[in-house]
Amino acid sequence: MTPVVVVGHGVAGMQTAIGLAESGRPVLLLHKGDWAASNTYLAQGGVAAALDPDDSAADHARDTLTVARGLADPEAVAVLTDEAEAATRALRAAGVFVEARAGRSHPGQEAGHSRPRVLRAPGGATGRAVARALRQAVAAHPAITVRSARVTRVGVVRGRVAGVFVSGDGQRPEWIPAAHVVLATGGFAGLWRTTTNPPTTAGDGLALAYDAGAVLADLEFVQFHPTALAVGETRPALLLSEALRGRGARLVDAEGRPAVADLPAGELTPRDELARAVGRHWITRGPIFLTLAHLDPRTVEEEFADLARAVAAYGRNLATDPLPVRPAAHFTMGGIVTDLEGRTTIPGLWAVGECAVVGVHGANRLASNSLLEGLVFGRRVAQAIAREAEAPPAAPPPAGPLLDAAWPEDLAAALDEHLGVVRTAAGLQDLLRRLRAAEPPDRPGPVTVVRLAAEAALARTESRGGHWRADYPDTDPRWRGHLCHQRDTPLWFCPSPEKGGLFDAVVRTRSRS
């Protein structure tokens, strides 16, 4: 049997690999090198799951849909929240979360959730604990081979995936045949200068899928986290988790006065709105600070031990100091359009996790739904591939143009300026001029991905979720739908279907490449 190639070592890639191996499929897990350079590893918040008897998957789904600002697919969201219990079971049994260790439910509160339902690891290093547990399972499974290599092209022969090219140790790209390739490469929020993501979060999967002819959507929706530590210019910026605000941390001005009391849910206002308020505060009223000084310092140091250590490295005290915060690019809602089992519009090409648009986040993701997405849909992708008949992959196509990796620093700064929390037509046009000048012809890469995002942001003349236009500040019901991209095709608008998800609507209106 030819191994299934899984690209990416975050939660979605590892969960997919484990599921495939458990169903008897050999897997080749490819990753770019450093295990710690993934958003999964860096994640703090946790995993949202309605596990308490007085909570319900339906309530979790309702919160997810509300925050998504009209663009999430109710069917996909129901899958996410209904399957949260099963998809988190192995990690809970492994004692990853506070809940399992103490033998009682101890979920945290985060913005947009109508009740506490976020599973967190002791000390708050949830991502690291999840990544370690999955990595151990990957290492323990003889059917999974792990290899460090950069995928530079997905080979498509007669409309079907035949394998991948990777940059080997020599000059020539190496061909790896595969009937199924799963992209689990994360998003592209690492391209902004002010970001909570590692630089490896550079949109590789989106560029590979676009080159292969798959459909991408929703690229204009970028989630900015409201509370990244604004001390120095570190990249990534240190994230001050929403879990802190869930525990009672407050946002104050330089005089210690409440800074967001005018927002409907104060500090727990959903991320899109709070990020705009924090950004606006800097411009109109000056710096804004997160403070926990009114809370019991021992509780803070115990519950957020990991973050307290990280903050101490900046010479500040998490429990007692006012910490200046600013918005930072954190998550990209857009990506490769898939069905509820991760199929893209190219047979044999699958996508899962942040690089995919399965329909669970819409225009603004609910806090702590991203690790959950990887766990739920990684499992589903694995089950779906395991059901597919084994087909021998075709002979390799010519290597063709390979993924571009260049990402100039001046463009990272230009994203902060023009594709940030607030956008305008003039700024987006300026950004597009610069991106088009920098984009290598026929060689997709990070510049292509943000060029597509900027084109969508310019086209969407309304404000919604993670896309806010100063020149079109209202949400316009006529824009309730998705801007889609496909290579060699002009950008098009796909209205949100009354029934079924975006994938079905795209397949109905476009023939498979």
- List, by residue number, the catalytic residues: 271
* Distances from the Cα of 395 to the Cα of 151, 157, 176, angstroms: 18, 8, 10
* Distances from the Cα of 239 to the Cα of 36, 195, 234, 408, angstroms: 16, 9, 11, 24
CB-based burial label for 390 (10 Å; 0-12, 13-18, 19+): exposed
Question: Nearer to ligand SIN by C-beta: 25 or 330?
Answer: 330
The rounded distance, in Å, linking the Cα atoms of 321 and 258 is 16
Question: Nearer to ligand SIN by C-beta: 16 or 44?
Answer: 44
Give φ, ψ of 175 to 5 degrees. -95, 130
End-to-end CA distance of the chain: 26
What single-letter amino acid sits at 399? A
* Nearest position to ligand SIN, beta carbon: 45
Question: Nearer to ligand SIN by C-beta: 212 or 274?
Answer: 274
In the region spanning residues 345 to 374, those forming contacts with ligand SIN, defined by CB under 6 A, are: 367-368, 370
Q: Give min distance, CB of 233 to ligand SIN, in A.
A: 21
Helix (H, G, I), strand (E, B) or coil at 450: helix
Q: Give min distance, CB of 437 to ligand SIN, in A.
A: 33
CB atoms within 10 A of CB 295: 17
How many residues at the interface with ligand SIN, by CB under 6 A? 9
In the region spanning residues 398 to 437, those forming contacts with ligand SIN, defined by CB under 6 A, are: none
Cβ contact 196:237 at 8 Å:
yes
Per-residue binding letters, 225-254, with ligand SIN (x by CB under 6 A): --------------x-xxx-----------
Question: Nearer to ligand SIN by C-beta: 163 or 362?
Answer: 362
What single-letter amino acid sits at 267? E
Question: Nearer to ligand SIN by C-beta: 125 or 346?
Answer: 125
The rounded distance, in Å, linking the Cα atoms of 12 and 85 is 16
Residue located via tokens 């997709």: 444
Per-residue binding letters, 431-470, with ligand SIN (x by CB under 6 A): ----------------------------------------
Residue located via tokens 């986040």: 361
Q: Give min distance, CB of 11 to ligand SIN, in A.
A: 12
Of these, 45, 112, 347, 353, which contacts ligand SIN (CB under 6 A)?
45
Q: Give min distance, CB of 28 to ligand SIN, in A.
A: 29
Reading the block at residue 391, the tokens are 């087909």
Question: Nearer to ligand SIN by C-beta: 197 or 463?
Answer: 197
The rounded distance, in Å, linking the Cα atoms of 481 and 362 is 9
CB atoms within 10 A of CB 402: 19
Question: Nearer to ligand SIN by C-beta: 330 or 451?
Answer: 330
Half-sphere exposure of 335 (CA within 13 A, CB side): 33
Q: Give min distance, CB of 52 to ligand SIN, in A.
A: 19
C-alpha torsion sign, points 114, 119, 243, 83: negative
Q: Give min distance, CB of 303 to ligand SIN, in A.
A: 13
Q: Give min distance, CB of 57 to ligand SIN, in A.
A: 18
Cβ contact 62:345 at 8 Å:
no
Question: Nearer to ligand SIN by C-beta: 21 or 329?
Answer: 329
Q: Give min distance, CB of 312 to ligand SIN, in A.
A: 18
The residues near 170 (Cβ < 8 Å, ≥ 6 apart) are: none
Position 44 contacts ligand SIN (CB under 6 A): yes
DSSP per residue over 4-30, as a string?
EEEE--SHHHHHHHHHHHHTT--EEEE
Q: Give min distance, CB of 365 to ligand SIN, in A.
A: 7
Element (H, E) at 222: strand 222-229
Residue located via tokens 């409201």: 226
Element (H, E) at 502: helix 502-509
Element (H, E) at 331: strand 323-332
| b/e per residue 8-30 (b: at least 16 CB within 10 A) | bbbbbbbbbbbbbbeeebebbbb
Per-residue binding letters, 194-213, with ligand SIN (x by CB under 6 A): --------------------
Question: Nearer to ligand SIN by C-beta: 8 or 427?
Answer: 8
C-alpha closest to that of 149 among 408, 402, 334: 402
Which residues of this protein are in contact with ligand SIN, per CB under 6 A?
44-45, 239, 241-243, 367-368, 370
